[in-house]
Structure 1
Amino acid sequence: MPLQQESARQERKPVILMSMGQQDRNGHAYQVMTHKYMQPVVDISDCIPLLIPTCFGVADIEQYLDMADGVYLSGAASNIDPSLYGQENLTPEKKQDLARDLVDIALIKGAVKRGLPILGICRGMQEMNIAFGGDLYQKVHDEDHLNDHREDPDTPPDVQYGASHSISMVKGSWLHKLLGDTIEVNSLHGQGIKTLGKGLEALALAEDGLVEALHAPYLPQFTLGVQWHPEWKALENPDSIKIFKAFGEACRRRAGSALDLRIDKAS
């Protein structure tokens, strides 16, 4: 490998796109991203987060994707607009963020076409499912065959994000090889996967059968959506470390392939 190419590989960290969300404060519209979602991208994945404001629409999505080696869809307090998956809104009391939905779905579809690794957490996993044509239970706790997966909002964060139930990996899957048979996860969601999108498959299930992790096995790149929150105190959780390391390695491979292509074109 030429010295110039090897040096570029060592110096450049992969760039990970992360979309921000709408939040109103004192009469002003803010674009926000919680620190806890960015931290493991830096500390564990060893990548650079690049935040995308979602308030300007999707016109510049391709230019953002040009700069990216991966896409990371975080959770948020807002629900996905149910019109995007053909349902009426059953949770009018919950905030929605349609601008973020539209940007994230465009990011997912663009990443699929470009071969960029994709990681989705909680709401992000649900957006992945919608982008592939699936739908959601808007109130998991109202389904007779499912448990209540919501957190207690009156407890401190350490309790809310503490392990609350186990999940089982699909036998023989790559996530099974990564994490083992079962792990304990936190649970802070009122909505969940109802029908998997086209081409998506479950990687892990909760005790009640709810999908807790999914991927797109027909795609060549890394794809993973998880319903729990591995970002919470990720450095203290061996399973979270494995997930963010796997994502970072996938983004590094993508960055290396893109660098090779650029150098080949320039030489």
Structure 2
Amino acid sequence: MVRPVVGISGNAHMINDEYAVQACGLHNLYAVSEVCEATALVVPALPDLNQIDELCAVFDGFVFTGARPNIHPEEYGETATPAHGDFDRDRDRLTLPLIRACVERGVPVLGICRGFQEFNVAFGGTLYPEIRDLPGRMNHRMPPDGTIEEKFAHRHDITLTKGGMFEGIFGSDVVLTNSLHGQGIKEAGERVVVEGHAPDGTPEAIRIEGAPGFALAVQWHPEWNAANDPVSRPLFEAFGQAMRESAAQRRAA
């Protein structure tokens, strides 16, 4: 059986502060390869080098990954401040229209962390620049100290909508996840359905209403230890199955 081909969003990176590259975390590649049982290819987040129609035709699905730079607030009608952090305007210009195109055409998509926020902004939603500054909210950012394993360790529960798509995937309405983000959803975009919340009310799991294909996103990082984590594995398995079904339909058309 031919494995699905998955496009994984690249991120702008500098080697030795002087050589520009497009990079992707290895755990995203392993999660797609090992758990989705698919071929993972990094898609450079450079709109001048990519055509949306061609990407949708070539790939069987996309993973929109986490990244240090945030979505520029101009994309959701707000003014940039120091609290918004750094930006990657090339990624904004590629991923936001690509997400909308994939949803329209039924190409399976999975959003992670920044990708979760891209889903919301792509459909008209807005973001808080810093969740931890809001009254009653917890600090969702990566712990500053400890090993990489400690930084990606489980930190809080997510309560899911009973009878929703995520409960169906996980087989439970409460799951335990890691937490490594600063921003979060302020207002949900049109068609963005929130199905999961952290204990402080922060949205953590969303789906796109009416999408003809798999269109789910999570605020946490399921790619970390995806093959062994009881929450991450079924999410990537469901994504992989959706891609295989979608690819089969496209080949039969």
Q: TM-score range by the shorter chain?
A: over 0.9
Q: Is the 8 A contact 2:83 2:130 kept in 1?
A: no
Correspondences of 1:164-183 after superposition (within 5 Å) = 164-179=155-170, 180-183=172-175
* Alignment correspondent of 1:264: none
Cα RMSD for the two superposed structures: 1.4
* Alignment correspondent of 1:199: 191
State the one-letter code of the partner of 1:160: K
**Aligned-partner Cα distance in 2 for 1:23–1:121:** 19
* Alignment correspondent of 2:238: 246
Correspondences of 1:1-267 after superposition (within 5 Å) = 10=1, 12-26=2-16, 27-57=18-48, 59-91=50-82, 94-179=85-170, 180-261=172-253
1:47 Cα deviation from its structure 2 partner:
1.0
**Aligned-partner Cα distance in 2 for 1:254–1:93:** 37
**CA offsets per residue over residues 88-118 of structure 1, 9 Å max, x none?**
2233683211101111112101102211111
Structure 2 residue matching 1:253: 3-state secondary structure: helix
1:144 Cα deviation from its structure 2 partner:
0.6
1:43 Cα deviation from its structure 2 partner:
0.1
Which runs of 5 or more residues in structure 1 are unaligned? Answer: 1-9, 262-267
State the one-letter code of the partner of 1:100: R
Which runs of 5 or more residues in structure 2 are unaligned? Answer: none
- Structure of larger gyration radius: 1
State the one-letter code of the partner of 2:168: K
- TM-score, normalised to structure 1, is 0.90
Q: Deviating runs (4+, > 4 A) in structure 1?
A: none
Q: Is the 8 A contact 2:83 2:129 kept in 1?
A: no
**Aligned-partner Cα distance in 2 for 1:31–1:151:** 23
Instruction: State the identity as a percent.
Output: 35
Structure 2 residue matching 1:234: 3-state secondary structure: coil
Aligned residues: 251
